[in-house]
Structure 1
Amino acid sequence: PRGLAAEPCECPRCGYDLSGAAAAWNHADSISCPMRGTCSECGLEFAWGDLLSPVFRPPAWSFEHAEMRRVSRLILTMFRSLTPGRVFAEIRLEIPVRAGRLVALTLASLVAWQLLASVAQVLALFDEYIIILDAAMRGRVGWSGVRYEVLSSLLPYAMAGGQSWSSIWVATPWTLLCVLWLLLTPLTFVLLGQTLRRYRVRRVHLLRGVAYGVAPMWMLLSLTLVVPLGCAAWEHLAGGYSIWDWRQVRWLVEVMPLALVGVWQLNYVRRFVGGYLRLPNEIGVALVMMTLSFLAAATLVWLSPLGSLLGRRVGVVFFGAPF
């Protein structure tokens, strides 16, 4: 409609002013209003209705745009971020980016991850208390060392000291690899400088991609409970004397979290690059980014002194005391 043609508007991807193209609809030679347009600056194809219609609104669950019930929408956004396809189908380029909320979402997700790690600290302290009890009092309450094998494979902190009982927890290499891979993959967007400049992608869109990539990290790590907890349950079905040794499939406990993270990240990067930024060859870009971030994470864990430092020194503050 011609009444909307004079409204100010800009390209959602590069920010180019499209008001001139819209104003041309009122020209005497113009006989119709086009339904779709193409940005002359970055080549983005868009629907004029998405830019000009006041009906186009952010989804109700979006914490980024919430004016009320922010806590509940923060939780909803974290859970919704587990499905990148649905997120970037509803959070589109045309929706304004609120950088402050995205930073808050990222920080809240990292805090949730630290709280998840604190659960491991509580379990470690509880086990230590049970172990020092008299054997007659301890009974079947105390689990065998399998609990530490389980927790070390799914949380960022694992028992230190070999066979000794201790409440000092450090990151295992495989779990640390998962954590670093999740953190580094969104950051590899900066390596796409030439592509981003070619399509004039505004940097603020990368902040949105990083925020929704980090948001589900704590849930992805907690989902890795399935295999190791299943092994632990089977181990203790016979009161800790099962004839079946779950260590025969220990490689599953180590590989499953990595496979889960890899599958999710492939879907996340592909949806963000192709579905949100609308750039070509999204699968190729996703594979390159994941490969680079995986190699960087593996280098930090196994070939860099920083990996040892992270594994032994990074901890959480629990009851005011660093672990």
Structure 2
Amino acid sequence: VLFLVSRFSPYEWHTEEFEDGRDQPPSDQTNEFGIFNSLWFSLGAFMQQGCDISPRSLSGRIVGGVWWFFTLIIISSYTANLAAFLTVERMVSPIESAEDLAKQTEIAYGTLEAGSTKEFFRRSKIAVFEKMWTYMKSAEPSVFVRTTEEGMIRVRKSKGKYAYLLESTMNEYIEQRKPCDTMKVGGNLDSKGYGIATPKGSALRGPVNLAVLKLSEQGVLDKLKSKWWYDKGECGSKDSGSKDKTSALSLSNVAGVFYILIGGLGLAMLVALIEFCYKSRSET
């Protein structure tokens, strides 16, 4: 844009003076902002090093000023985001898996008093889960809770000394709710699905199965989960591990400065057209 504006605006063209004081003929006017000098000016501004040439016309100066403002905001935003990334205090978890829980004794862990999670551990034949079940059923005081709300209160009051084991769907939902002081640790222990109960032999079974399958294939269920779990979440992040990360600088965060840049370039081209018309009219 700077190259085009400089070529179009008559105020960017000038005659050079010889060493003996003579001027160049008007037909030999020069323009400092060729394609390479325009790129050099842009690079110098972006690297905040400046350049030995500068625009003469108003339109060229508008381009230069808008570009300087754009580079200032972009570089400042990047620097601030990088500094936050390097200095953020990360939340470090002493446990990362069920194996870590089973190997230690400092952190207590339990489940809902009556629920699928407790039944999973009670019936499991996997050595790690059997060991965890043996601990849970013999622990004193009891590590089982009557409600999920009670379990979350116990987690918060324990100051890192109690882990509550529950279904991943509920875990992810709670994690996105205030006071935003809990996090999901490790992967899922098992894979199960939710179902819709109907009376035995009900004619609804087939249509309901097909409808749910269709919603799943179309991605509607994932969209609904994203909407109610994360988009309407109160902790501002979808990534369950994002508590120990800074948010990335996205395009939406700096969209305003791009609008200013585009608007400024458009204004500069309009001013260059006005300069050209004014100069042409004054010479006739």
Structure showing greater radius of gyration is: 2
What TM-score does the superposition give when structure 1 sets the normalisation length? 0.24
Higher relative contact order (CA 8 A, sep 6+): 2
Q: In proportion to residue count, which structure has more helix?
A: 1
What TM-score does the superposition give when structure 2 sets the normalisation length? 0.26
